[in-house]
A and B are shown apart, each in its own frame.
Chain A
Amino acid sequence: GAVVSQHPSRVICKSGTSVKIECRSLDFQATTMFWYRQFPKQSLMLMATSNEGSKATYEQGVEKDKFLINHASLTLSTLTVTSAHPEDSSFYICSARDSGKNYGYTFGSGTRLTVV
């Protein structure tokens, strides 16, 4: 089945630094990937849609200059949290759909970011 690999699974960084999170589709090509953010005991909030070879589409209220998304190939999308602050601490999850299938999105295992 479709597998999405997300790294790192956990990261702690200092305020003001940047953190990059990678999302790879291992056995399928994904022209579109999605990035979500999840706070404790809450549902997933869509942050942005990452499109291979073009600019990402951000949801209302998400700062595109803070959350940089790059989708340089059909199997890799990256999310960089720039100048991180403690309020950016959250669980970040990516997802993708196998273009050859018309159902279901596969999610990565998530990245727990803690900014201290």
Chain B
Amino acid sequence: QKEVEQDPGPLSVPEGAIVSLNCTYSNSAFQYFMWYRQYSRKGPELLMYTYSSGNKEDGRFTAQVDKSSKYISLFIRDSQPSDSATYLCAQSGSGNSPLVFGKGTRLSVIA
């Protein structure tokens, strides 16, 4: 089984709020975890990438992987209207294995 579960939302927050996006996965063998942001009618853009477990921070974004609970999280601090998009979590194995995507969460940040 290679599923990644993600609540599709939509999620609406005021500007400046902290946003928490979450996914669960079932395949423990896949150890690469990614978050993509997709604006309407555009291709997904890689936001964050982590290998195995732990935290990774990049500006206002923090990605977190908890392997014990098979939980992936993305936190957005000081959210901006420009963060309004669909956020997709993804998982993959090594080599050229394809990504397994969650359904994506639609986020709206209201000014």
Contacts and interface: CB of A to CB of B under 8 A. Distances in A.
Contact of B101 (A44, A91, A102): A44
Interface centre among A6, A110, A112 (most CB of B within 10 A): A110
A105 B44 CA distance: 10
Chain B, interface size: which category? 20 to 34
A105 B42 CA distance: 15
Given A32-B96, A109-B43, A110-B42, A103 B101 contact: no
A93 interface: yes
Interface residues of A, number: 25
A4 B8 CA distance: 27
A107 B96 contact: no
A103 B98 contact: no
A104 interface: yes
Nearest 3 interchain pairs by C-beta:
A107-B43, A32-B96, A43-B103
B88 A110 contact: no
10 contacts: A42-B103, A43-B102, A46-B99, A49-B98, A97-B96, A102-B94, A103-B49, A105-B92, A106-B46, A107-B43
Interface string A40-76: 0111101001000000000000000000000000000
Interface in B52-111: 88, 92, 94, 96, 98-99, 101-104, 106
Given A31-B96, A32-B96, A91-B41, A105 B46 contact: yes
Interface of A: 4, 6, 31-32, 34, 41-44, 46, 49, 91, 93, 95, 97, 102-110, 112
Contacts of A43: 88, 101-104
Interface centre among A4, A31, A91, A97 (most CB of B within 10 A): A97
Given A43-B88, A93-B44, A104 B103 contact: no
Given A44-B88, A103-B49, A93 B98 contact: no
Nearest to B100: A46
A104 B32 CA distance: 9
Contacts of A93: 43-44
A46 B99 CA distance: 8
